[in-house]
Structure 1
Amino acid sequence: MKQKVLLLKIMSIAFLQFIILVAFISNGHANGTTHRKINASTGKVRLPVFYDFVVSGRVLDEKTSTPIPGVTIKIKNSQLTALSDNNGEYKITVPDDQAILVFSYVGYEIQEKSIGSARVINIALKTSQANLEEVVVVGYGTQKKADVTGSVARANLDDFRNAPTTNIANLLQGTVPGLNVGQVNRAGATPAISIRGQNTLGGNQNVLIILDGVQYNGSLTSINPDDISTIDVLKDASATAVYGAQAANGVILITSRKGTIGKTRISLSSQYATQEPNVALKPMARDEYLDHIKYLYYDQAFLAPSYTQANPNFNLASFVDLSMKDAQGNILPNNFSWYEEATRTGIILDNQLSVSGGSDKLTFLLSGNFTKNAGFINNDLFKRRGLRANIETKATNWLTIGLQSFGSFVNEDGVEPAFATINGMSPLSLPYDANGNLIINPYNTNITNPLLSYQAKDFDRKNYFFANVYATVQLPLKGLSYKVNFGNNYRIELKNISNQYDANLTGQASKENTTYYDYTFDNLLTYNKAIDRHNFTGTLLYGAIERDNSYTRAYATGFSRLTLGYNNLQQGTNRFAISNAWKETLNYQMFRLNYNFDSRYLFTGTIRRDGFSGFAENNKYGVFPSVSFGWDISKESFFKVGWVDNLKLRAGYGVAGNQTTRYSSLANVDVNAAYIFGDGGSTQFGQQVNSLSNPDLRWEKTRGLNLGLEFTFWNNRFSGVVEYYDTKTTDLLYLVNIPNITGFTNILTNVGQLDNQGIELSFNSKNILTKQFQWTTALNFSRNVNKVVKLLGDKNGDGIEDDLPQSGLFIGQTTGVIYDYQTNGIWQIGEQIPAGYSPGTYKIVDQNGDGVINASDRSILGTSNPGFRLSMLNNFQYKNFTLTVFLNSIQGGNRSWLASNTPRKIRDDNSIRDNYLSGIDFWAPDNPGGKYPRSIVSATLNPSLYQNRSFVRLQDVSLSYKFVGKFIERLKLQNLNVFISGRNLATWTNWEGWDPETNQGLTNDGRPVFKSYSAGLNVTF
């Protein structure tokens, strides 16, 4: 009660003071009188000053002394602002001589000026080098961008935050040269990710993911994109060497958001998006389907010799499958769309809530999210619920303790119908009978109704738990600190399913349980020392990782009924159980020295030693060194080029490793059927060695040289990075064939050499910077070429390194080489067609001219690797509107970025019954220029047609509006932003089919990439 009374007194006094102050100010304004102010600390009377006086001046560029238009002049801690005009001049009404003016403009440092008695304030702004002062994550620490000597790039996330997507990896497409991120066509899916091409043949090809300093082996679908603050990419060997044996494929460093000192912020964002295919590709409807059957029987549907004139005696019903005719033998009148039945308009619903803030002793961020992605195909479902807590406290002046943690709960319940089967179902057949029940076999064959998947009871959950506890201790020696990281990943996967139509319609149910746990324990000792203009930073690391996985599955078949589904497996006639487990450990040590003189001459040296339980007895450990240098030329006294703001040259060389999978160096044992005692006797199982051990199996090693040039010109109006790299991977992990007399067919060993070379360009320009309008552009370009240099050596003894054509590997060629028959049109009616071929089949080029088409006529037709990648981001700002437009492209040519795209029809029982995609340009006697083969019989050889996959994609467009001023103040908000956005809105390509980037052409088993439209808002209280 006393507290309530005291609170009322305080509120009353505050309210009374407010009324007096308002009256005082109002009286002063009304009468234009002067007021004396008393300094509270000294008691002295300040000189009288009129309120609402005007301050004017001019804003110039410090280097060029030219006026800067569009500079924002703001009175600190108020909403009063003004802008400089085309002559750099400004005027602003000031309420108080104690006010402070804040001058800000893109590309320049923010400056503050106290007013005092001045009425004219001119100012010269300095070009901002904020991008060089930006701190980037480099692995086991951070560095100012200006001091980085390796190839480290930060992804632009801010311009893509509004994109309708559920996976953080999708926001990285095209944002960093050398970082290659593919497309997705399933709800919640993670795209393929690679950095600077393929560095291995049989080793691990995955990029290493580091989340908040801890290796992360979970799916990126578990990470809430809104929780991510920054993503940094380590690309060259000198940068990745700090991660040693696991870094040959590059490293992605993900840093989550933290709380900041200041007022508590409550942020809410919500977004709703729709998804639909970006191509209008559907199966044939009734008329086209029947026409398709007729052309498969062109030799009877049309008259010889040209087969272009219709045969009046041809009865199509005689050739249609019996299941598609009525009792009188007439074709059923149905025109059912299985495609429409099995698909829908996809949606994404995303809601985010976070609370953050803190003091100088404690900062915190708490967030929660709910994301739902119902995909285009029915039962393609992804739901994610997540919670995050990031807390850091400065317990004492020498101890900081923190926690970075999240829990993510993913729901992927439901079994979608097989899309390939959906596309192959005849429009003459129906999925339901007259009573609305599913027809099990619409064709009266063993092909089952794809919609039977709807009957499954499916429980598919993945629960992810992550926690990194860390502490930093400032040791008594100045500049020396110790940090300990203890990171934990725990994952539970539950897959329970039952369906009465599985197991050849006898019913099946199963329960699967997978648990995974790993910990990372890192000890870091860091020492910083500055001596005059010499700066040293030493980092010493000792760490260990342990990973454990356990899997169990119990299942049964042959159910008389499945009332209790997967919760009553004992009712099945046949019951089975499977289980397995694995464990692996790593330990490592690393030392890194960073040195710079006057931030002009830079040096980084690293050496790391790794041990892995999965490697052979004789090679448990590997050592991975690197060195890199930087020279900031623009800081040299002799370099006096006025329009160059920054120019830094850097070079690095290092070694990174690639480890094999666990147990691969050991002789593996399997349980197989071993003996049968007598005719009709029971089978006895026994253990059998199925692979040879290799005690000398070594790490793959990737040695890489990287050269980079960073520059900023014309007062930060134009900046960029040019990089060249050359890497050589040796001791390639590869399964080598061995004589069968050994009892085995191959053994994993180290062979050969694979080289990668490439160039990467990144340019940023500020095209227009005016009072109300700004336009900036970011352009990225990358090209990578790899080459097989060595394989198994000279096996034939002719002094020439031998190829492995059966594996598609050729000395001097790329790993993506296409080795096949070359086509040259289609055989036409009336031509002299060789035996084994017929009209409608591909002609094959006789490469050696011996008159016989066989395996010797195969040749290298090109490569599946792209020629180059290119992206361009344009950002337009007009007042409070912001428009971003992002174009992404992969280009090839006649011999690169090729893929097989060969729909083919050969008359047989299945091709007559099955449906196919609509609008395909098949050959026919009356369509001799048809692109794709269609024939009565199968040819001796049916080669593929390889097509170029080049495309330009309008990948992301976003338009947002930020509310400012009194509207925000009345709502008591810190920020309010509304937006609309689109993704994959248009794709320009000659590729035919689902999508060039997913390498899915005119095939029933492809899936579309989605075109998305979304609307949303971001609110901060």
Structure 2
Amino acid sequence: MASVCIVRASPCRGHLAQTVSGKVTDENGQPMTGVSVLVKEGKAATQTNAAGNYTLTLATPNSILVFSAVGYEKQEIPVNGSDTVNAQMKAINNSLNDVIVVGYGTQKKRDVTGAVVSANLTDFKNAPNANIAQALQGTVPGLNVGQVNSAGSTPNISIRGANTISGNSRVLIVLDGIQYNGSFEAINPDDIASIDVLKDASATAVYGAQAANGVLLITSRRGKKGDKPRVAISSSYATQSPRGNIRPMNRAEYLQHIRDLYYEEAYLGPDYTQPNPNFNIASRVDPSLKNTSDQLLPNDFSWWDAGTRTGSIADHQLSVSGGGDKVNYLISVNYTDQKGFIRNDDFKRKGIRVNLETQIASWWKAGIQSFGSFVNKDGSEPSVGGLFTFAPLAVPYDTAGRLIPYPFNTNLTNPFHGYYTDDLERHNYFFANLYTEISIPFIKGLSYRLNYGNNYRINQQYNASIYGAGLTGSASKEFESYYDYTLDNIVTYNRAFKKHDVNVTLLYGAVERNNDYTLSNANGFSRLTLGYNSLELGTNRFANSDAWSEALAYQMARVSYKYDNKYLLTATLRRDGFSGFAANHKYGTFPSAALGWIASNESFMKVSWLDYLKVRAGYGISGNQTSRYFSLSRVSSGAAYVFGDGGSTVFGQQVQSLANPNLRWERTAGINAGVDFALFQDRLSGSLDYYQTDTKDLLFNVNIPAITGFGTISTNVGNIRNRGVELSLTSKNVDLKNFTWRTTVTFSRNVNKILQLIGSGDMTASSLFIGKSINSLYGYQANGIYQLGETPPAGYYVGTYRVADNTKDGNITPADRVILGYGEPAYRISMLNSFDYKGFSFTIFFNSVQGGKNGYRGSNSPTKIRDDNGVRNNYQHTIDFWSPRNPNGKYARSAVSPTITPTIYQDRSFIRLQDVSLSYRFTGAWVNKLKFQNLNLYVSGKNLATWTNWEGWDPETNQGLTNDGRPVLKGYSLGINATF
């Protein structure tokens, strides 16, 4: 009886075969190397070679072959007497085969040896975000992204802990392979395909001098070879309003505040809780809040309501993409219109992107990745602090509707002065990376790529106000242009030899940056009809200008080596030169090395529950460059001379800082150890990292005696250590045909410590202490509030804070100051749940920052005294001030200012329901008939709820019970995505 052929077998033979061979491919038909092939219940085993082929000698022709590879479903195929058995593997953990951008090249995730993570953009695509950085909040452990509270703004971004005191703390942004120094406001979120985060020194060392604070690698979308033309349209509209109920006091609350300030008059002693019927509050109210009859004005005006509105975001996208054998392309246009909660907080962005690539020959391709973005921020807001400060008895306009310039009859201007400014603010961004890549025809695996990147931006801010310069009228024109170019020469050699896989990257490049700035302004206009376009009409005219340039040159060599699909090595050496450093230290060298072991590919690790296990460790050094010119003597200008008695003051120049020809690079050396894993047929996957970095030669401006003729000198002062742990876990809780539920949890913790400063002592004046965090909060400690019946010591009064005598010497001196807490959080944690049921998709994302016992503290000290401003001004209505009626109040309120008022720090810990999205993808005959490739309708929400004990504005913005804060906005959006 003839045997049965299995899986692409060659024609069957009628005799028993002792040797079997075949080829193993992936889902795309590409050969797979390193696939384990063994005989079930036997000892024979082998692996596929670089071409995906294998040969195996069998003890019996009725054997069953078992094919296994990391990240792929295990296959069992009976031989059934055939001498050829091919297999096509099906991926179970597709993320391991994802291509990650690692700087000047790409790698499969499974082969990466450093701490490199791809951000999850897919689950946050429908969120109402005008800025791409908002989509990164809480999604990547170790990547810390703050909140925004104005239209189109970019949040603070940091990676892992602080590595510097006063040096550059910016994360390096690389867009399509080119260093990007523009703002995120210019980047259209819909144009972004991926964002990869380089966190450890072994990964960031390829960028050397600028990478101490981590790197974000942003890759834009492009057309794909073989794709038919695709037209994608999306449109959404979101409303935005403040989170929480923060407002200034209304009339009744404001008047009660004044009574509490004058409690000894407004209430009867001795406990001052019973109202005094003879108290005339009008006698204590600011005169500007009374009429000519010395009576209170009848108003209960809400300045806050008048200066705010319901915000919105309208976003519209159109793109065309596709590709053939010779050309692939993506062309997109976009328009975003965001109206912030504060009136005239407007942000409009129009943009166009063109990404083209052509295959000129089989060995030669060229292309361009480019965009233009045009940002409009016209309009000047009313003063946010003023909207809170002005009392509800005052109004902004007189009975004729004219603006009252000084409602308090002081130099405090009407907050709507700015609102009525003729304001033009434009930011135009232009970016292009022109590249060509040649695969050397006569040396297999060798290629050369040339990148020529250009960044250019123009900033314009023109304004004119009839209320400026003390109501004499003012106008100005501010113009700034910036240009940089990047020229990178990249040689890559990539080959596989049997069990060896080698990738070599060589780089030689340069960057030059130039900036020009001019400000012209005038005041004292008899008429402002022509506004800022006729500054010569002003009585007083001024001009300021500035310019700078800087240059970098660098070389880099990187070797990535893989043996037997198990053992990984990455070694990098980069050398950087920067024009801003001192003559004796223009260049720095930054090495790194990392090892990886794919343990799950070892024969002794072949267990049913383990899909993938990689252990990795790396060490590297990266640099942090100083600001330009810091090593040189710098000159300042100002009032310098008076010639003769009663003579006029003449402006002059004087040397401000002392040159330091030995100013060195800050150098951050770091180790990172981590594991990546996938378990139970990819039901549970994740990564765990531990790191430690030491930054030496910290850049710091040290004050020097004025007798030297200088104020400061920039120098290298000490060392900082950062330690941390990061965890990311993804579980497939339910994985059915029509329903899936997936959960991702991230956790990160970072602790920094100062190891050394100048000499061996602390820098108390700068709150820098050896062995403590660089964000130590140092000061006097409050120990309650002095109450009625107590006798405060000299210089202190009833209602003021009791300062802790920590030295127990009976006196309050600077020696009583202590560390009150730390600015950094104890840990960050987030959780994303994604549900899919037929055409429905639902995601819900919680983000949290926790301070632990003494961490993540912020200043929250709304102390008030009974002076002119304390009586006149308005404040947030929820502030728990002390008074005899409220003896347990948190915050001091007294008649006289005490000798010392301690700063009160509060815990900023919070849990936030940050993102929620529900979408439905339409299917059916009508969708196909209308030629839709995709039709999706969604609703989403952002910042819907926040749980915190922090008082005042949002804890993440570190703005508390102040008048000049801004609210974080919650939003609801409705949108549609369609692809033809």
Calculate the TM-score normalised by the size of structure 2. Answer: 0.90
Give SS of 1:911's match. helix
- 1:488 matched to 2:461? The reply is no
Select 2:473's aligned residue among 502, 507, 527: 507
- 1:899 matched to 2:864? The reply is no
Select 2:106's aligned residue among 142, 156, 160: 142
Offset, 1:686: 3.9
Offset, 1:327: 2.0
- 1:596 matched to 2:562? The reply is yes
Q: Percent of aligned positions with the same letter in both sequences? A: 60
- 1:804 matched to 2:763? The reply is yes
Distance change in 2, residues 1:145/1:684 (3 Å): same
Whole-angstrom CA distance in 1 between matches of 2:379 and 2:426: 11
Given that residues 127 and 716 in structure 1 are in contact (C-alpha distance below 8 angstroms), is that contact kept between their aligned partners in structure 2? no
Select 1:727's aligned residue among 662, 672, 693: 693
Moved more, 546-555 or 737-746: 737-746
Aligned AA for 2:905?
Y
- 1:352 matched to 2:317? The reply is yes
Select 1:185's aligned residue among 135, 138, 149: 149
Give CA-to-partner distance per residue, 1:112-150, whole Å, 9 cap, x none: x9xxxxxxxxx9985523211111000000001111101
- 1:229 matched to 2:193? The reply is yes
Given that residues 330 and 355 in structure 2 are in contact (C-alpha distance below 8 angstroms), is that contact kept between their aligned partners in structure 1? yes
Whole-angstrom CA distance in 2 between matches of 1:443 and 1:670: 37
Give CA-to-partner distance per residue, 1:728-787, whole Å, 9 cap, x none: 000110112223221123210112100000000000000011232110000000000000
Alignment of 1:664-703 (within 5 A): 664-703=630-669
Residue in structure 2 matched with residue 766 of structure 1 by the alignment: 732
Moved more, 995-1004 or 965-974: 965-974
Give CA-to-partner distance per residue, 1:432-484, whole Å, 9 cap, x none: 11111111111222222111212211110000000000000011211110000
Whole-angstrom CA distance in 2 between matches of 1:420 and 1:972: 54
Calculate the TM-score normalised by the size of structure 1. Answer: 0.87
Distance change in 2, residues 1:686/1:329 (3 Å): closer
Given that residues 675 and 685 in structure 1 are in contact (C-alpha distance below 8 angstroms), is that contact kept between their aligned partners in structure 2? yes
- Structure 1 portions without partners, runs of 5+: 1-61, 64-106, 114-122, 794-800
Give SS of 2:687's match. strand
Give CA-to-partner distance per residue, 1:584-626, whole Å, 9 cap, x none: 0000000000100022100000000000000000110000000
Residue in structure 2 matched with residue 525 of structure 1 by the alignment: 491
Give CA-to-partner distance per residue, 1:674-716, whole Å, 9 cap, x none: 4333234444444322211110111000000000101100000
Alignment of 1:290-305 (within 5 A): 290-305=255-270
Residue in structure 2 matched with residue 985 of structure 1 by the alignment: 944
Select 1:204's aligned residue among 159, 168, 172: 168
Aligned AA for 1:280?
N
Whole-angstrom CA distance in 2 between matches of 1:354 and 1:981: 23
Given that residues 655 and 710 in structure 2 are in contact (C-alpha distance below 8 angstroms), is that contact kept between their aligned partners in structure 1? no
Offset, 1:108: 7.0
Whole-angstrom CA distance in 1 between matches of 2:560 and 2:292: 85
Residue in structure 2 matched with residue 616 of structure 1 by the alignment: 582
Whole-angstrom CA distance in 2 between matches of 1:706 and 1:308: 63
Distance change in 2, residues 1:282/1:786 (3 Å): same
Distance change in 2, residues 1:869/1:474 (3 Å): same
Given that residues 723 and 761 in structure 1 are in contact (C-alpha distance below 8 angstroms), is that contact kept between their aligned partners in structure 2? yes
- 1:954 matched to 2:913? The reply is yes
Residue in structure 1 matched with residue 892 of structure 2 by the alignment: 933
Offset, 1:824: 1.6
Select 1:974's aligned residue among 927, 930, 933: 933
Q: State the superposition RMSD in angstroms.
A: 1.6
Whole-angstrom CA distance in 2 between matches of 1:684 and 1:449: 34
Given that residues 915 and 944 in structure 2 are in contact (C-alpha distance below 8 angstroms), is that contact kept between their aligned partners in structure 1? yes
Given that residues 114 and 203 in structure 2 are in contact (C-alpha distance below 8 angstroms), is that contact kept between their aligned partners in structure 1? yes
Residue in structure 2 matched with residue 884 of structure 1 by the alignment: 843
Select 1:832's aligned residue among 779, 791, 795: 791
Residue in structure 2 matched with residue 213 of structure 1 by the alignment: 177
Whole-angstrom CA distance in 2 between matches of 1:125 and 1:523: 38
Offset, 1:429: 0.7
Residue in structure 2 matched with residue 56 of structure 1 by the alignment: none
Give SS of 1:395's match. strand
Residue in structure 2 matched with residue 922 of structure 1 by the alignment: 881
Offset, 1:110: 13
Residue in structure 2 matched with residue 44 of structure 1 by the alignment: none
Given that residues 586 and 611 in structure 1 are in contact (C-alpha distance below 8 angstroms), is that contact kept between their aligned partners in structure 2? yes
Whole-angstrom CA distance in 2 between matches of 1:326 and 1:872: 58
Whole-angstrom CA distance in 1 between matches of 2:478 and 2:735: 59
Offset, 1:894: 3.0
Offset, 1:879: 1.0
Aligned AA for 2:580?
G
Give SS of 1:504's match. helix
Given that residues 864 and 896 in structure 1 are in contact (C-alpha distance below 8 angstroms), is that contact kept between their aligned partners in structure 2? yes
Select 1:160's aligned residue among 109, 121, 124: 124
Give CA-to-partner distance per residue, 1:203-257, whole Å, 9 cap, x none: 1000000000000000010000000000000000000000000000000000000
Whole-angstrom CA distance in 2 between matches of 1:678 and 1:944: 46
Whole-angstrom CA distance in 2 between matches of 1:372 and 1:183: 19
Given that residues 127 and 715 in structure 1 are in contact (C-alpha distance below 8 angstroms), is that contact kept between their aligned partners in structure 2? no
Aligned AA for 1:283?
P
Distance change in 2, residues 1:401/1:124 (3 Å): closer
Offset, 1:970: 2.5
Given that residues 347 and 373 in structure 1 are in contact (C-alpha distance below 8 angstroms), is that contact kept between their aligned partners in structure 2? yes
Residue in structure 1 matched with residue 401 of structure 2 by the alignment: 436
Aligned AA for 1:1003?
T
Aligned AA for 1:848?
T
Offset, 1:672: 3.8
Give CA-to-partner distance per residue, 1:520-568, whole Å, 9 cap, x none: 0000011112221101111100000000000011111100110000011
Offset, 1:323: 1.6
Residue in structure 2 matched with residue 76 of structure 1 by the alignment: none
Given that residues 903 and 1002 in structure 1 are in contact (C-alpha distance below 8 angstroms), is that contact kept between their aligned partners in structure 2? yes
Whole-angstrom CA distance in 2 between matches of 1:675 and 1:721: 65
Whole-angstrom CA distance in 2 between matches of 1:756 and 1:323: 55
Distance change in 2, residues 1:126/1:227 (3 Å): closer
- 1:638 matched to 2:604? The reply is yes
Whole-angstrom CA distance in 1 between matches of 2:587 and 2:879: 56
Whole-angstrom CA distance in 2 between matches of 1:862 and 1:666: 37
Give SS of 1:441's match. coil
Whole-angstrom CA distance in 1 between matches of 2:383 and 2:658: 39
Whole-angstrom CA distance in 1 between matches of 2:202 and 2:421: 52
Moved more, 299-308 or 359-368: 299-308
Distance change in 2, residues 1:905/1:495 (3 Å): same
Given that residues 344 and 378 in structure 1 are in contact (C-alpha distance below 8 angstroms), is that contact kept between their aligned partners in structure 2? yes
Give SS of 2:600's match. helix
Select 1:543's aligned residue among 495, 504, 509: 509
Whole-angstrom CA distance in 1 between matches of 2:780 and 2:657: 35
Whole-angstrom CA distance in 2 between matches of 1:493 and 1:803: 42
Moved more, 207-216 or 451-460: 451-460
Offset, 1:905: 1.5
Given that residues 157 and 171 in structure 2 are in contact (C-alpha distance below 8 angstroms), is that contact kept between their aligned partners in structure 1? yes
Whole-angstrom CA distance in 2 between matches of 1:763 and 1:894: 26
Whole-angstrom CA distance in 2 between matches of 1:894 and 1:834: 32
Residue in structure 2 matched with residue 841 of structure 1 by the alignment: 800
Whole-angstrom CA distance in 2 between matches of 1:778 and 1:1000: 30
Distance change in 2, residues 1:675/1:324 (3 Å): closer
Given that residues 656 and 712 in structure 2 are in contact (C-alpha distance below 8 angstroms), is that contact kept between their aligned partners in structure 1? no
Residue in structure 2 matched with residue 128 of structure 1 by the alignment: 92
Whole-angstrom CA distance in 2 between matches of 1:688 and 1:317: 53
Moved more, 327-336 or 176-185: 327-336
Whole-angstrom CA distance in 2 between matches of 1:858 and 1:685: 41
Give SS of 2:133's match. helix
Residue in structure 1 matched with residue 278 of structure 2 by the alignment: 313
